[in-house]
Amino acid sequence: MSASRPLPRWADIVLLPAINLFMAFLVSGLVVLMIGENPLEAITVIIYGAFGYGDGFGYTLYYATNFIFTGLAVAVAAHAGLFNIGGDGQAYVAGLGAIVVALALDQTHWLIAMPLAVLAAGAVGGFWAFVPGWLQAKRGSHVVITTIMFNFIAAALMVYMVNRVLKPATTMAPESETIDIGGRVPQLRQFFSFFGYSPVNLSIVIAVLALIGVYILVWHTKFGYAMRVLGKNPTASRYAGISNSRMIMITMTISGALAGMVAINEVMGVQNRLVLDYVAGAGFVGIAVALMGRNHPVGIALAALLFGALYQGGQELQFVIPAVTREMIVVIQALVILFTGAMEGLFRPALERSFMLFTPEQKAEAIAVSSAKTEG
């Protein structure tokens, strides 16, 4: 009977993530304290490392680029009520599309190679998500299960492709041929020396375009409308004449294509070749990013920046305070993911209650809703 009412928008978007983040840092601080280091010093190092100087900020942006793509992939699927946790695998196999185009066109110009590689990586990543989508739409196999299984298939497939197909006979390392300059995505440092030696590259422009594109897709197109109807009420979408099966397949394909953009950033912007495991868990960070960003492009951009900063600042921390080992950094990152992602709703009920207490209008509204339901 206690009527809970959704939080006001600003509290949902700003206050709750801020509380979660604060809690994550609080617990992380305790961990740092436990190993005998100063938490305040640690956080200063992280912030300075992530934003304090050009190289560091460049790295932050480079990580954030990946997280924007994978975060958007999760968000687009989520709007249609689908939980795509296969971003990792989709980003990984998309590398095949990127490398084939990049190697084929590396004697031309990046203006030719990059757009085509975007299409190719999107197509391969999209296909990798389309299959689970098709299985759910036509066979009822849940995408949560199939997408995660496709991550393993992707990993095995890529080991085979890199070692048996793409590796030149002359190299020993498991990697493809190196892309020549015409097939590489230009680095931002070529335009702004501020970024030092950091690997942030023009892929970030694609990321920004993707953010805008997803916003338009979800809220300003008929397809996005249908997607949201399906996500909120699949029976109503059937009533509205929306083909749920077709929506599921198309949405999953878009989601996979977005995840596939990670390949542009990594293969053509950073590694300049296809290596093993270059996604490095970005697909899973994308889940936390989407959750924290409330599936909204603005939120995703901010959350991606946060996680980028955490990755970069963490590296820095490890360097400055040797007692904080690599494993400790992972613990801190995991705590942030835990609080902002997995336990995202931990403080929601308490926050909702306090809002009920402090704002009478909202309280009245909540009661009106609950009584309308019980009397209906």
Cα–Cα distance for residue pair 167/358, rounded to 1 Å: 64
Size of the site for another protein (CB under 8 A): 39
Considering the complex, what minimum distance in angstroms separates the CB of residue 117 from another protein?
A: 25
CB closer to another protein out of 31 and 367: 367
CB nearer another protein, residue 327 or residue 361: 361
Residue type, position 363, single letter: K
Based on the shown chain and the rule CB under 8 A, indicate whether residue 371 belongs to the binding site for another protein.
yes
Task: Identify which of 149, 100, 143 has the alpha carbon closest to the alpha carbon of residue 120.
Answer: 100
State which of residues 13, 47, 338, 367 lies at the interface with another protein (CB under 8 A). Answer: 367
Give me the least distance between CB of 319 and another protein, in Å please.
47
Q: Is 240 in the site for another protein (CB under 8 A)?
A: yes
Least Å distance between CB 86 and another protein? 24
Residue 148 sits at φ, ψ, to 5 deg, of -70, -35
Pick from 239, 326, 330, 354: which binds another protein (CB under 8 A)? 239
Q: Is the Cβ of residue 22 or residue 239 nearer to another protein in the bound state?
A: 239
Torsion of CA 352, 353, 355, 356, to 10 degrees: 120
Q: Is 140 in the site for another protein (CB under 8 A)?
A: no
Among 254, 248, 277, 10, which residue's Cα sits nearest to residue 137?
A: 248
300 vs 366, beta carbon nearer another protein? 366
* Subset of residues 263 to 302 that bind another protein, contact rule: CB under 8 A: none
Candidates 10, 36, 173, 241; binder of another protein (CB under 8 A) is 241
Short-list 326, 268, 273, CA closest to 115: 268
Alpha-carbon torsion (249, 279, 67, 326), positive or negative: positive
Query: For another protein, which is the closer residue by CB, 4 or 44?
Result: 4
**How far is the C-alpha of 332 from the C-alpha of 32, rounded, in Å?**
9
Is residue 246 close enough to count as binding another protein by CB under 8 A?
Answer: yes
- Give the 3-state secondary structure of residue 275: strand
**CA–CA separation, 188 and 147 (whole Å):** 34
Residues that bind another protein (CB under 8 A): 1, 220-226, 228-229, 232-233, 235-236, 238-246, 359-369, 371-372, 374-376
